[in-house]
Amino acid sequence: MSRKVQFKAEPREIPDGILVVDIACGSIFALFDVQEREREYCVMGPRPLAQRVIEAAEAALQTADFVTPIDVLVAIGWLDGGAVARWRQGRIPSIESAVQAPPSRIFEALDLLGSWAAQNGLIPNEVQYLERSTERRPLRFSQSTHPALERLYRTHWVSSALPERERKHLVEKFNQPPELVVIWPLKDDWTCNRCGGGGDFLTMEPSGPACLGCVGLEDLEFLAAGDALLTRRAKAKGTRHAVVVRFSRNRRRYERRGLLVEPAALAEAEREIKDRKPAQGALTGARQ
C-alpha cells in the first residue's frame, strides 16, 4: 500500500520503496510504489511564497555572491527567461507586464526578498538597467513607473562576505552598459522595419528587425569565435563592438558565434599578434 509522505524540494527515496517527486513547485506531488507499481496523484496546497523566494535567493547567492529581483522572479516560475531577453532589447514595455502574477503579489515577493536580504546582512546596490540596443534607453520595470517600486526592482543585493574591492568591482560591472547583440538569422528572407532592406545580420527593435545600416553598425566587420586572444584584443582596441548570436535548432537556443568589431581595431590586433610570435620564438631559442 502506498502512503502519503511530506515532500521535499528534491526527489528522495524512503525506506518502504516509495519515490517522492516534486512537480510544479510543490503544488502537486506523485507517489510511486516501486514494489506494487501503483501511482497516486495528490493535490496539495502550494508552498508559501516566502519559502519559495528565500530558496531562490539563497541559490542565487551561493552561485553568484549577489541576488537580483529578476533572478528570483525567474526562479520561482513567475517570469520566463525569454521574456527577460526581449525586455532587455526594448521589445517589452515593462518587465511587470511579462510576470505571471498580479502587481500586489509581485510587490509582496520583492518585499520578502528585501527583508530576507537585510536580515542576512546583504548590501543593497541600486543599478541602472539600459536597453541592449544602440539607443541605450533606460529600461522600465513597473507599469506604473512608481519610483519606490522601480527602486525595488533595480536593487541588487551583494554578499557582505566579499572583500570590499571585489564588491566594488561587482557593482561597477552591474552598471556597465550591456553589450549589443546582433542576430545572424537562419533565413535571409527578413525585412528591415525602417528601410525595407535586408542583410546578413539584424538587430531586434520593438517595431521589428532592423538592418545594420539603419542602426549604425554597417561599418563593423565579423570576427568568428574560436581565437580567444584575437577576439579580446580586437574588442579592447576598438570603441564599438556587438556580440553575434545564431539560433541552434538542436539546442533550441541562441548561441554566440563571434563579434562585430571595428576593422581598424581588428587589423591592429592581428598585426600585434603576428609581430609577437617572432619575438616569442627568439626568446625561446635564447633560453634553450
Is it the case that residue 177 has pLDDT exceeding 90?
no
Dihedral through CA 50, CA 56, CA 59, CA 62, nearest 10? -70
pTM above the 0.85 mark?
Answer: no
Collapse the DSSP code of 125 into the 3-class scheme (helix H, G, I; strand E, B; otherwise coil) and give the result. strand
Residue 69: what residue type? Answer: P
Q: Where does the pLDDT of residue 279 fall: very low under 50, low under 70, confident under 90, or very high at 90 and above?
A: low
The stretch 265-281 carries a mean pLDDT of 84
Closest by Cα among 135, 261, 244 to 200: 244
What H or E segment, with its residue span, contains residue 180?
strand 180-183
Residue 180 backbone zone (phi > 0: left; psi -120 to 50: alpha; other: beta): beta
CA distances from 184 to 33, 171, 179, 225 (A): 50, 32, 16, 13
Distance CA 107, CA 24 (A): 22
- The answer to whether residues 40 and 2 touch, using CB atoms and an 8 Å cutoff, is yes
Query: 143: which 3 cell numbers?
Result: 507599469
The reported pLDDT for the residue numbered 39 is 35
Is it the case that residue 243 has pLDDT exceeding 60?
yes
The stretch 185-201 carries a mean pLDDT of 95
The reported pLDDT for the residue numbered 159 is 97
Task: Quick: pLDDT tens for 117-171.
Answer: 999 999 999 999 999 888 889 999 999 999 999 999 999 999 999 999 999 999 9
The reported pLDDT for the residue numbered 278 is 65
The reported pLDDT for the residue numbered 2 is 37
Q: Where does the pLDDT of residue 273 fall: very low under 50, low under 70, confident under 90, or very high at 90 and above?
A: very high
Distance CA 30, CA 43 (A): 9
Is it the case that residue 19 has pLDDT exceeding 50?
no
Task: Quick: pLDDT tens for 31-90.
Answer: 333 333 333 333 344 689 999 999 999 999 999 999 999 999 999 999 999 999 899 988
What interhelical angle do 228-237 and 263-287 show, nearest 10? 130
- The answer to whether residues 185 and 202 touch, using CB atoms and an 8 Å cutoff, is yes
DSSP-derived secondary structure for 34-97: TTTTEEEEEE-PPPPHHHHHHHHHHHHHHHHSEE-HHHHHHHTTSS-HHHHHHHHTT-SS-GGG
Query: What residue ranges do the domains of the chain occupy?
Result: 1-47, 49-174, 180-274
Is it the case that residue 12 has pLDDT exceeding 90?
no
Is it the case that residue 27 has pLDDT exceeding 50?
no
Determine the distance from the C-alpha atom of residue 15 to the mean position of all C-alpha atoms in its chain, rounded to a whole number.
40
Q: Where does the pLDDT of residue 15 fall: very low under 50, low under 70, confident under 90, or very high at 90 and above?
A: very low
Mean pLDDT over the full length of the chain: 83
- The answer to whether residues 98 and 87 touch, using CB atoms and an 8 Å cutoff, is yes
**Bridge partners, 23 (sequence order):** 28
CB atoms within 10 A of CB 92: 18
